[in-house]
Amino acid sequence: MIKITTPLSEEVIEKLQIGDEVLINGVIFTARDAAHKKLYELLEKGEELPVNLKGQIIYYVGPTPAKPGRVIGSAGPTTSGRMDKYTPRLLDYGLKGMIGKGLRNKEVQDAIVRNKAIYFAAIGGAGALLSKTIVKSEVVAYPDLGPEAIYRLEVVDFPAIVVIDARGQNLYEVGPEKFRKE
């Protein structure tokens, strides 16, 4: 287990390799489909983003509403591939990491290498477990989007696995290779 803290430096990112299990600490931001579209459009127009995402990690999640007395509801990763259209633009702008689940397209993989960024997977469907690592949560942009709003989360030892590293190695390709029987 490797502990890392946000914002991510290139030095830290370069040391991480596919298959490494990390515990993420610090601030991460949530954004899903609708929020990504808005962020992308702002960047295309050359306008400021509502949150500074440089060096930061975006977590693809749409949490359930928090019960009274809780910081957040269940909060596991959603399918990252839906964000592929917008991700290269965000990485070129300065985003350094993403947490989600599932495959990314070639453009995203190239943008990860080009920008020395990193892609982590969290366990899909483990939203109750993951929510326990989130100690603070607040909506910082687009509250009208409901579960798709941008939240600022503070996490303590949030568990994830490196699935695409800064060299472009991809665990979704390499991992299944080892266990394939034809």
Partner 1 sequence: MRNLDVKEIKNAVKTLVVKANQELSTDILNALKVAANNEESEVGKKILQRVIENAQIAKDEELPICQDTGTAVIFLEIGQDVHLVGGDLHDAINQGVREGYSEGYLRKSIVKDPLNRVNTGDNTPAVVHIDIVPGDRVKITVAPKGGGSENMSQLKMLKPADGVEGVKQFVIDTVRQAGSNPCPPIIVGVGIGGTFEKAALLAKKALLREVGTQNPDPFYNSLERELLEKINNLGIGPQGLGGRVTALAVHIETYPTHIASLPVAVNLNCHVARHETVIL
Q: How far is the CB of 130 from partner 1 (least distance, A)?
A: 8
Q: Which of 56, 106, 105 has the alpha carbon at shortest distance from 80?
A: 105
25/64 with CB nearer partner 1 = 64
Tell me the C-alpha to C-alpha distance, in Å, between residue 89 and each of 61, 71, 167. 19, 31, 19
10/21 with CB nearer partner 1 = 21
Q: How far is the CB of 88 from partner 1 (least distance, A)?
A: 19
93/126 with CB nearer partner 1 = 126
9/105 with CB nearer partner 1 = 105
Q: How far is the CB of 112 from partner 1 (least distance, A)?
A: 16
Q: Which of 142, 156, 153 has the alpha carbon at shortest distance from 27?
A: 153
Backbone phi, psi, residue 4, to 5°: -130, 155
Q: How far is the CB of 46 from partner 1 (least distance, A)?
A: 26
1/46 with CB nearer partner 1 = 1
Q: Is 91 helix (H, G, I), strand (E, B) or coil?
A: helix
Exposure b/e, 53-92, CB count within 10 A at least 16 = b: beebbbbbbbbeeeeeeebbbbbbbbebbebbebbbbbbe
Residues in the site for partner 1, rule: CB under 8 A? 19, 21, 34, 61-67, 73-76, 78-79, 81, 101-103, 121, 123-132, 145-147, 159, 161, 163, 171-172, 174-182
Which single residue is written with the structure tokens 């483990």?
A: 126
Q: How far is the CB of 15 from partner 1 (least distance, A)?
A: 19
Q: Is 178 helix (H, G, I), strand (E, B) or coil?
A: helix
